[in-house]
Structure 1
């Protein structure tokens, strides 16, 4: 199973992940691949149901421990039924958020601690990790201003700025610890510049 064909996109609210996913999809297609584009939480029937619970406001008082366990429950189903079969079949998988999101949001933002959340990831995933992770980084205030122009905020988007500052700091810590896998992309640039930066990173990382 070639885990190098797993590409993930990370970032806080308003970072432009949807546009980045489209750029990656087009790059993979142009290089002869047939990408599977998916997301977390979600990607499966069970995952989408858990996504509604996690992002909806019905469970506004959910504990951090319950939140991270639901995230990994959705991820377990996603990995076993979508990601691993696609990789085993030689396909590329492009995922909107993956384990780094849990490390940043629950480990950093919720204060559970990165290493505590990483223990869950190690137990569930073993040595499965993306070949490349693109971290779309921008100031929290900029991202929240962009997100404000979209639909009504979900449970995470309703958090205060200090929550997202902690998430961003956790992403920075992860990127500094694993620079060979996690590439920071300046998401304050125009869509065209961000897209060009992503294509350059893909060319460099998958240079045959």
Structure 2
């Protein structure tokens, strides 16, 4: 089996990181060759960039500079971690990828999506996810969950209207790229949502195995 990139997306508080971790354990028990990573981050350089991007003290970070920093961290991750893992035939579970930039900086910030596509094509060398799970949650519920766990990083402190635009962006992206995107109802219980995630991923992997026969 060739390597596959499965990406978990969604607004803050949607539970994607929890679902990714649970899926990793499930697939590991089934004997798959796996790795997990996250954005921004996943490499020493990327983690340093992450600390800048999420630091509330950097509230004056210019929007295009923000987009370039995300792209820089992504490029490091793709070439240092993701592409080598895919060449080794691994299933890579990634917490956020290109869609986060399109949703947050494109729909949320209002930056030209053509511009964002260009810098991300450069950053990734055109690498695309094989499957994207978009965890959808009403913004009000997102705020409740985030406020319970922390005071919020730089992005988590954004306004309700910002996150509403981000949410709508994710849903629009999923509609436009329905061939490899699937929207998951993140308001479900953790257990029920994981059951659905496992079903989707099992079907995806089984389908890819049949294609390679």
Does the pair score TM above 0.5? yes
| Cα distance in 2, alignment partners of residues 109 and 120 from structure 1 | 17
Summarize deviations over 1:149-187 as a string: whole Å, max 9, x none. Answer: 012210000000000011111101110011121110000
Q: What is the match of residue 165 of structure 1? A: 164
- After the TM superposition, list the runs of 4 or more consecutive aligned residues in structure 1 that deviate by more than 6 angstroms: none
Aligned length: 207
1:8 pairs with 2:16 = no
| Cα distance in 1, alignment partners of residues 58 and 94 from structure 2 | 26
| Cα distance in 2, alignment partners of residues 81 and 2 from structure 1 | 18
Q: What is the match of residue 79 of structure 1? A: 78
Instruction: Answer yes or no: is the 8 Å Cα contact 2:33–2:89 preserved in 1.
Output: no
The correspondence of residues 20-31 of structure 1 with structure 2, limited to 5 A, is 20-31=19-30
SS of aligned partner of 1:90: coil
SS of aligned partner of 2:132: strand
SS of aligned partner of 1:7: strand
Instruction: Give the CA deviation at 1:116.
Output: 2.2
The correspondence of residues 1-208 of structure 1 with structure 2, limited to 5 A, is 2=2, 5-207=4-206, 208=209
Instruction: Give the CA deviation at 1:32.
Output: 1.9
| Cα distance in 1, alignment partners of residues 30 and 133 from structure 2 | 19
Instruction: Answer yes or no: is the 8 Å Cα contact 2:11–2:166 preserved in 1.
Output: yes
Q: Which moved more, 1:147-156 or 1:19-28?
A: 19-28
The gaps in structure 1 that reach 5 residues or longer are: none
The gaps in structure 2 that reach 5 residues or longer are: none
Instruction: Answer yes or no: is the 8 Å Cα contact 1:41–1:51 preserved in 2.
Output: yes
Summarize deviations over 1:58-92 as a string: whole Å, max 9, x none. Answer: 21111110000000000111111111111111111
SS of aligned partner of 1:206: helix
Instruction: Give the CA deviation at 1:127.
Output: 3.2
Instruction: Answer yes or no: is the 8 Å Cα contact 1:107–1:116 preserved in 2.
Output: no
Distance change in 2, residues 1:126/1:81 (3 Å):
closer
RMSD of Structure 2 on Structure 1 (CA): 1.4
